[in-house]
Structure 1
């Protein structure tokens, strides 16, 4: 949600858009006894168009961070701004609306409805976003086209490969044109060939300007990101990740 003066105004050029993600001192703890700190107060800024990997072992706090970034949980300390919107000021309904409009999720398990076609699985994601009914089918087909599945719109999940099912899930995440694509171990259920295809898909989405955050324990997956953040014992630290493909 850009701020500032419109382009070409007499007051000068527009201000840059706010970061997609801006965490300031964000932490999450759970009451005891004894109390547990799952995420120590942390700062993190992710700008539009970045491709970021969050790495760390099991129990490091990756799931806690995922839930916070995805507006599935609220921090106990600090502030989280999504597209410049202070999420702490939102009630449950507004948070849910913001999540549906601004965040697309891709999980390790595809979570596709077995008796619905690929097109229908993608189309249903728009119901909760209040997309006008007349636009839903065309938007679903466009999203499937983006992930190279225009020829599989009427296929049931059981007839698709693992990689194709994950690409349907990616299309479902993209259909509402979110600001952020949040991916949790997206290749965890795939063989090496299908994992390679999905990672190539992420490269294409990044090249088109999408903002991706991939949470993974796999260094081979993290290598494809342009930037890497590590979480260990609930503490975030920046890492340098070599760019792949330039």
Structure 2
């Protein structure tokens, strides 16, 4: 008897009629009703003018804001059914964040900054440091593990920020203008790293104004006036 094939994994992101309205007066419909699926391993760019709703979209996808309508399933888990504490824990386990500003502590080493992502998890300290070292190796910064941010280039600081996001072994990497503070050489280095991470199977969702970044994605979403065009 032939065994049944393993079921396909659920999408990483599934929006079912998701919308977010900020209370007024007057109420602001920051994200209009949206149906969206992001499959495992996709590289999706999100573009749109300033004030279009990109940050709101990112906050909802990153479990920083809760939709006022619809359902958001992350890795098949209905996030709206979770209490706040469980949502926070799910975010820490499944999502890594990379921002335009690196948000590194200036007096901590690259290794320590990377390990900070797991500070409020149940991961023991020794394992946190081991995972941080592994993440720094993944972004090519093992030789700089003991350097503080002031002794790192802009590109290296962003690589530390990416390593910090990877240390928790997330299924989704959310990037907000990851090359926005970098010169062209460092930006190219970070983009090459994102390509490598995508090739290794990581799911990427990148908000950007940079055409070079968007061109690398397999799919581009455009947001205008809170409406997501897929």
The TM-score normalised by the length of structure 2 is: 0.97
Instruction: After TM superposition, list the pairs within 5 Å mapping 1:61-80 onto structure 2.
Output: 61-80=53-72
Q: Tell me, what secondary structure is at the counterpart of 2:120?
A: helix
Q: Deviation digits for residues 173-215 of structure 1, max 9, x if unmatched?
A: 0001001000001111111111111000000000111110001
The correspondence for 2:168, drawn from 170, 176, 182, is 176
Return 220-229 or 142-151, whichever deviates more.
220-229
Q: Tell me, what secondary structure is at the counterpart of 2:216?
A: coil
* 8 A contact 1:129–1:176 mirrored in 2: no
Whole-angstrom distance in 2 between the partners of 1:127 and 1:34: 40
Whole-angstrom distance in 2 between the partners of 1:14 and 1:166: 38
1:59 is the counterpart of 2:51: yes
1:41 is the counterpart of 2:27: no
Q: Deviation digits for residues 5-60 of structure 1, max 9, x if unmatched?
A: xxxx9651111000000001100112222221111100110011111001111000
Whole-angstrom distance in 1 between the partners of 2:145 and 2:210: 31
Instruction: After TM superposition, list the pairs within 5 Å mapping 1:1-246 onto structure 2.
Output: 12-238=4-230
The TM-score normalised by the length of structure 1 is: 0.91
* 8 A contact 1:112–1:157 mirrored in 2: yes
Alignment gaps of 5+ in structure 1: 1-8, 239-246
Aligned length: 230
Q: Tell me, what secondary structure is at the counterpart of 2:135?
A: helix
Whole-angstrom distance in 2 between the partners of 1:128 and 1:20: 24
* 8 A contact 1:179–1:211 mirrored in 2: yes
In the TM superposition, residue 136 of structure 1 has moved relative to its aligned partner by 1.6
Whole-angstrom distance in 1 between the partners of 2:187 and 2:81: 39
Matched with 1:244 is none
Q: Tell me, what secondary structure is at the counterpart of 1:128?
A: coil
* 8 A contact 1:102–1:180 mirrored in 2: yes
In the TM superposition, residue 155 of structure 1 has moved relative to its aligned partner by 0.4
